[in-house]
Structure 1
Amino acid sequence: MARTLEWKVRMYLSEEDGTTRARMDLDTGTATLTGRGTARCNPQDLDIPEIGDELAASRAMSDLARQLMRVADQDLEAVGAGPGNTVPAPYGWPSA
């Protein structure tokens, strides 16, 4: 079964008083997830806004990725293939 989807991602960045905030919205057409990230400039460091943008954006992406993985895990469990199954998942940290 072949199919093509388009998911829309938008990144919003704002900086104020040495703190950069990022918000990343993912719209799958059926659901919307929002990741958030923050970066703070150490007062002793040079204020280079691009570095704050990169850090905050990467943290928002990481937050969004964790949320998406949680949704995928829940969907897998719903069809009997999730973490409750005896077959280990091919990704993530092994269970203790």
Structure 2
Amino acid sequence: MNGTLEWTVRVELSEDDGTTMAEAVLDTGTAKLTGQGIARCSPQDSDVPTIGDEVAASRAMHDVAGQLMSVADRAIGRSGAGRTDGRVEPPYAWSDATA
């Protein structure tokens, strides 16, 4: 590929009574993936909204990342370059030279 692409991620957060919900949307220009995340404040912990935001947002983005990897895995398979046994071991395409 020659050129530059720009993808955007939008994260919306809402909080209600110690529970923070997040929705992350990845827009590639040709497709959109949506992930969900939730964080709950433990009753014995102080309510620190920033922490709930960070946890819920990271979970939503992790959800989107998993979906994006599944899309890529299917594309790799369709191109004939995937593993024949269908397994994909984390961290995906990286190899461990010490193994």
Query: Structure 2 length as normaliser, TM-score?
Result: 0.83
Deviation at 1:2, TM superposition (A): 1.6
Q: Would you say the 8 A contact 1:83–1:89 is kept in 2?
A: no
Partner of 1:61: 61
CA 1:54–1:89 in structure 2 vs 1: closer, same or farther (change >3 Å)? closer
Task: Measure the CA separation in 2 of the matches of 1:90 and 1:52.
Answer: 27
- Unpaired segments of 5 or more residues in structure 1? none
Q: Which amino acid aligns with 2:81?
A: A
Task: Measure the CA separation in 1 of the matches of 2:89 and 2:46.
Answer: 43
Partner of 1:43: 43
Percent identity between the aligned chains?
A: 60
- Show CA shifts across 1:2-37 (max 9, x none): 211111110100000110001000110111000110
Q: Secondary structure at the match of 2:65?
A: helix
Q: Secondary structure at the match of 2:84?
A: coil
Q: Which amino acid aligns with 1:20?
A: T
What RMSD, in angstroms, separates the aligned Cα atoms of the two structures?
Answer: 2.2
Task: Measure the CA separation in 2 of the matches of 1:89 and 1:80.
Answer: 18
- Show CA shifts across 1:21-75 (max 9, x none): 0100011011100011000001111000000001001101111110000000000
Query: Structure 1 length as normaliser, TM-score?
Result: 0.86
Task: Measure the CA separation in 1 of the matches of 2:91 and 2:74.
Answer: 15
Q: Secondary structure at the match of 1:71?
A: helix
CA 1:90–1:45 in structure 2 vs 1: closer, same or farther (change >3 Å)? closer
Partner of 2:28: 28
